[in-house]
Chain A
Amino acid sequence: KAGVTQTPRYLIKTRGQQVTLSCSPISGHRSVSWYQQTPGQGLQFLFEYFSETQRNKGNFPGRFSGRQFSNSRSEMNVSTLELGDSALYLCASSKGPGQLYNSPLHFGNGTRLTVT
């Protein structure tokens, strides 16, 4: 069974631009979560989607947004990029959220975003 697939693996953008990252979950998984990983802040939760609806959101500015499609694939978008947005962005999927599904998160290889 294929794992979580994130594209692209690497991105270099300049300040002020916008970027879209893509995540394809494991087949049968309906919940997708996004995390930002930086050396200073560690792993921080961005948002979670389930059944095409955002169910939870972390403490990030409105420049960070996402969506989920009917096939459970998800995209996240960052507008007006800042240097501090340079990070590894990890996507994770699970069968569903929380206690109802008791399904652990399975992560992709991440997208390394560099903002210059």
Chain B
Amino acid sequence: AQTVTQSQPEMSVQEAETVTLSCTYDTSESDYYLFWYKQPPSRQMILVIRQEAYKQQNATENRFSVNFQKAAKSFSLKISDSQLGDAAMYFCAYRSALRYSTLTFGKGTMLLVSP
């Protein structure tokens, strides 16, 4: 079974600064997807960014980018120019490329953003 580990329960960053959230995963599969989801107090899980394992190029979405190291099974999220609205719980998630696969989530990292 796949596991996802987020070793940082909480991280703090100041507005306009850059922060990196860590995620490692364990799998024996070669084809899969990785995601970062954000869950603000409104409770809705919002997809931030996703990465296909077969793509070597790191995904980027505006201020959000990932550092995907397939051999090391590492998938970190970098948030640049942090904003107050970025404050939320961030979950790293893994999904196999098999047809009926599910998301396996890490325990989450709470990101605090201060003015």
Contact = CB atoms under 8 A, between A and B. Distances in A.
Chains A and B are bound partners: yes
Interface of A: 3, 33, 35, 42-43, 45, 48, 50, 55-56, 58, 88, 90, 92, 97-100, 102, 104-110, 112
Contact of B101 (A98, A108, A110): A98
B105 interface: yes
Contacts of B46: 107
B47 A56 contact: no
A109 B42 contact: yes
Contacts of B99: 97-100
Given A43-B91, A58-B102, A98 B97 contact: yes
Closest 9 CB pairs of A and B: A107-B45, A98-B99, A43-B105, A45-B102, A55-B100, A99-B97, A56-B100, A109-B44, A110-B43
B74 to A, nearest CB: 20
Given A99-B97, A104-B33, 17 more contacts: A33-B103, A43-B103, A45-B104, A56-B100, A56-B102, A58-B102, A97-B99, A98-B96, A98-B97, A99-B31, A104-B35, A105-B47, A106-B47, A107-B37, A108-B44, A109-B42, A112-B43
Interface of B: 31, 33, 35, 37, 42-47, 50, 52, 91, 95-108
A39 B91 CA distance: 13
B106 to A, nearest CB: 8
Contacts of A50: 100
Contacts of B101: 56, 97-98
A42 B102 contact: no
Given A43-B105, A104-B35, A104-B50, A92 B98 contact: no
Nearest to A98: B99
A107 B43 CA distance: 10
